[in-house]
Amino acid sequence: MRIRTGFGYDVHQLKEGLPFWLGGIQIPHTHGALGHSDADVLIHVICDALLGAANLRDIGFHFPDTDPQYKGIDSKRLLHEVVRLLQERGYQIGNIDSTVCLQLPKVNPHIPEMRRVLAEVMRVDEDDISIKATTTEKLGFVGRKEGVAAYATVLITKA
């Protein structure tokens, strides 16, 4: 069995009046993430980590922000395509460990639903997805509520 790991990191600016998508669900908040797609930072880091683990470059390579077909796209569709690319090459997802850095809104109450939605999109067990949330103790752009950051590591296997 072949085992590979991948890492993803992403940030998005927060803007008043935009919908806030995180982990495939819309979370009520006054500010949302700015981006070419729906700007779901958690899905983006999971995509990057999976693509990196399989040595398939990154999310921007596969879904460039210069391509109008991805304008406003639901990031769950991007994740579904990334999983398809991995499966084509014989890889299976072992597990995902992720962290979202955000002052507000509080993420913890939404984690069970995010895990459910992401597991459904990727066709894995919810137990294979870890989502953690933290603040930056009011430091930096996250602490000033100007943006959101996320990190993910993944393990994939190939028989």
For the chain, the domain total comes to 1
37: DSSP letter = S
Average pLDDT for 127-140: 97
Q: Find out whether the peptide bond into 105 is cis, omega within 30 degrees of 0.
A: yes
- Known binding residues: 10-12, 36-37, 44, 58-60, 63-67, 134-137, 141, 144
> With contact defined as beta carbons under 8 Å apart, do 66 and 81 qualify?
no
| Cβ count near 5 (within 10 Å) | 12
pLDDT above 90: residue 123: yes
User: Quick one: pLDDT at residue 23?
Assistant: 98
pLDDT above 90: residue 159: no
Report the chain's mean pLDDT, rounded to a whole number: 97
- Known binding residues for a divalent metal cation: 10, 12, 44
End-to-end CA distance of the chain: 5
Distance CA 110, CA 27 (A): 8
User: Looking at the whole model, is its pTM more than 0.85?
Assistant: yes
Distance of alpha carbon 40 from its chain centroid, rounded?
Answer: 6
Supply 86's token pair. Answer: 């991995």
Distance CA 85, CA 23 (A): 20
Q: What is the pLDDT of residues 4-15, one digit of tens each?
A: 999 999 999 999
Query: CATH number of the domain that 115 lies in?
Result: 3.30.1330.50
- Domain span at residue 87? 2-158
